């Protein structure tokens, strides 16, 4: 069945949704190559936001309200792919995933909520496989840099030695920018859910939470502040590790354990080599601001200048079979939570629709769903660089 749109942006009147719409228009216009539409609950607000952003009046608008299932179904039926920025997904995403899975419509989001993702895998993976829907979670800062960085590193390791790296350490070398209000809201909702449900709490501590019926090898401790001789720096926990590590392990499973069944992986932040570095590491370890009242709110975000002055640089170091290391870095040219994330999810949507026809229905991570095709798009269009350093 022919679809009216390639992509609809669900939540286009929200802060991140606006950034996605602006990026799609600036990068692709609205023509035969990529036909996309803005979706929201209210036609007048959609038109107002379109005008405020300076988008052409012929930019398509679609009204869909989560309280009106018929409107949601009509939206899903109108498009090849739904791109949603409406989180926390555990509160607002389940129905949409179900509709896409049953309808054979592709789906991408910015989810960083592992237990909800696991619930969706358990409920809808078989349905998505049957309908042909490709459901891809975590298409932003969580977890594209790590998922694709490890994918690239392991391919390079195989080229060098014929074997994957059995252990990889990710270290955030530098980063400027704020985490999104959606990330904070998701963290808070997840903490509340885990407090009320022992099964959710159990999944929260399971590095293989996204791989049903699987128990792998014990994973490294990514929570303890310590001095790393390898990096000549103090290291601190990285708040995104809880989702990124889960997605990397799911990618390994979906790739037929291409990284090995003994694969171990940890993510932490480098804070510097001296007493100041130690103090920063301890501050990071004890920081609870993302879970508190001062955390960024959904719908709020940094200014354009703040987004454009942001960046991140993450290095991935893998131990090669027989000795030595394989090193890959992933860098982004905007703040991670908004500027870079809005570009990453947009390119993920286009890549899935336009270049990943051979990816079958199911619930995926970015690496096995799109792999090198997405790396190429991100480097060409979205300001990311993937570099083989050693």
Rounded distance between C-alpha atoms, residue 341 and residue 349, angstroms:
12
Q: Report the CATH number at residue 77.
A: 3.40.50.720
In this predicted structure, the answer to whether residue 176 has a pLDDT above a threshold of 80 is yes
- Exposure string of 293-329, with b = 16+ CB inside 10 Å and e = fewer, is eebbebeebbeeebbeebbbbbbbbbbbbeeebbebb
Q: Residue 59 contacts by C-beta under 8 Å, 6 or more apart in sequence?
A: 21, 25, 30, 37, 38, 50
Q: Mark whether 232 and 257 lie in a shared domain.
A: yes
Using DSSP bridges, classify how beta strands 311-319 and 325-332 pair: parallel, antiparallel or unpaired. antiparallel
DSSP annotation string for 93-155: THHHHHHHHHHT-EEE-----HHHHHHHHHHHHHHHHHHT-EEE---BTTBHHHHHHHHHHHH
Using DSSP bridges, classify how beta strands 264-272 and 384-388 pair: parallel, antiparallel or unpaired. unpaired
Q: Mark whether 223 and 252 lie in a shared domain.
A: yes
Instruction: Please state the rounded mean pLDDT for residues 149-156.
Output: 98
CB 100 within 8 A of CB 30: no
Q: Mark whether 232 and 267 lie in a shared domain.
A: yes
Q: Mark whether 169 and 293 lie in a shared domain.
A: yes
199 φ/ψ angles, rounded to the nearest 5 degrees: -65, -40
The pLDDT score that the predictor gives to residue 259 is 98
Residue 38 forms part of a structural domain:
yes
The pLDDT score that the predictor gives to residue 198 is 80
In this predicted structure, the answer to whether residue 163 has a pLDDT above a threshold of 70 is yes
Higher pLDDT, 216 or 302: 216
- φ/ψ bin of 362: left (φ > 0), alpha (ψ from -120 to 50), beta (otherwise): left
pLDDT tens by residue, 328-387: 999 999 999 999 999 999 999 999 999 999 999 999 999 999 999 999 999 999 999 999
Q: Mark whether 72 and 108 lie in a shared domain.
A: yes
Q: Mark whether 159 and 114 lie in a shared domain.
A: no
pLDDT tens by residue, 241-251: 999 999 999 99
In this predicted structure, the answer to whether residue 144 has a pLDDT above a threshold of 80 is yes
Q: Mark whether 79 and 228 lie in a shared domain.
A: no
The pLDDT score that the predictor gives to residue 341 is 96
Structural domain boundaries enclosing 264 = 144-334+374-388
Of the listed ranges 30-39, 80-89, 93-102, the one predicted with least confidence: 30-39
Residue 229 forms part of a structural domain:
yes
The pLDDT score that the predictor gives to residue 371 is 98
DSSP 327: E
Residue 369 forms part of a structural domain:
no
In this predicted structure, the answer to whether residue 31 has a pLDDT above a threshold of 80 is no
Q: Mark whether 311 and 196 lie in a shared domain.
A: yes
Q: Mark whether 87 and 196 lie in a shared domain.
A: no
Helix, strand and coil percent figures for the chain, each rounded to 5: 45, 20, 35
Q: Residue 98 contacts by C-beta under 8 Å, 6 or more apart in sequence?
A: 123, 124, 127
Rounded distance between C-alpha atoms, residue 171 and residue 269, angstroms:
5
Domain count within the chain: 2
Rounded distance between C-alpha atoms, residue 232 and residue 354, angstroms:
44
Q: What percent of the chain has pLDDT over 90?
A: 85
Say what angle helices 181-196 and 114-131 make with each other, to 10 degrees. 100
Residue 339 forms part of a structural domain:
no
């Amino acid at each position: 069945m022919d679809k009216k749109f390639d992509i609809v942006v669900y939540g286009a009147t929200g802060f991140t949704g606006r950034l996605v719409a602006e990026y799609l228009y600036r990068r692709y216009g609205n023509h035969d190559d990529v036909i996309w539409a803005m979706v929201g609950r209210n036609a007048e607000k959609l038109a107002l936001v379109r005008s405020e952003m300076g988008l052409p009046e012929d930019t398509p608008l679609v009204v869909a309200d989560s309280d009106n299932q018929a409107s949601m179904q009509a939206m899903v039926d109108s498009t090849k792919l739904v791109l949603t920025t409406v989180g926390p997904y555990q509160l607002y995403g389940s129905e949409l995933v179900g509709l896409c899975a049953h309808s054979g419509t592709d789906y991408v989001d910015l989810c960083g909520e592992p237990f909800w993702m696991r619930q969706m895998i358990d409920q809808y993976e078989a349905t998505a496989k049957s309908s042909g829907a490709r459901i891809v979670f975590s298409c932003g800062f969580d977890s594209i840099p790590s998922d694709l960085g490890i994918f690239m590193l392991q391919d390079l390791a195989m080229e060098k030695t014929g074997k994957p790296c059995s252990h990889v350490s990710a270290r955030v070398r530098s980063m400027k920018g704020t985490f999104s209000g959606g990330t904070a809201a998701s963290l808070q909702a997840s903490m509340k859910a885990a407090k009320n449900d022992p099964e959710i709490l159990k999944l929260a501590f399971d590095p293989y939470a996204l791989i049903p019926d699987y128990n792998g090898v014990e994973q490294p401790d990514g929570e303890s502040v310590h001095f790393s001789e390898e990096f000549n720096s103090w290291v601190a926990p990285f708040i995104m590790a809880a989702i990124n590590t889960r997605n990397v392990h799911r990618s390994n499973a979906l790739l037929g354990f291409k990284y090995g069944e003994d694969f171990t992986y940890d993510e932490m932040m480098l804070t510097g080599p001296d007493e100041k570095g130690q103090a920063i590491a301890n501050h990071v370890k004890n920081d609870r601001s993302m879970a508190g009242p001062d955390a960024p709110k959904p719908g709020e975000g940094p200014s354009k200048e703040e987004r454009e002055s942001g960046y991140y640089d993450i290095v991935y170091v893998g131990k090669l079979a027989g000795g030595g290391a394989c090193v890959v870095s992933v860098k982004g040219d905007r703040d991670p939570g908004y500027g870079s994330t809005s570009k990453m999810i947009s390119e993920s949507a286009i890549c899935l629709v336009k270049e990943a026809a051979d990816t079958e229905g199911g619930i995926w991570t970015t690496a096995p769903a799109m792999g090198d095709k997405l790396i190429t798009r991100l480097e060409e269009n979205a300001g990311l660089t993937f570099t083989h350093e050693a």
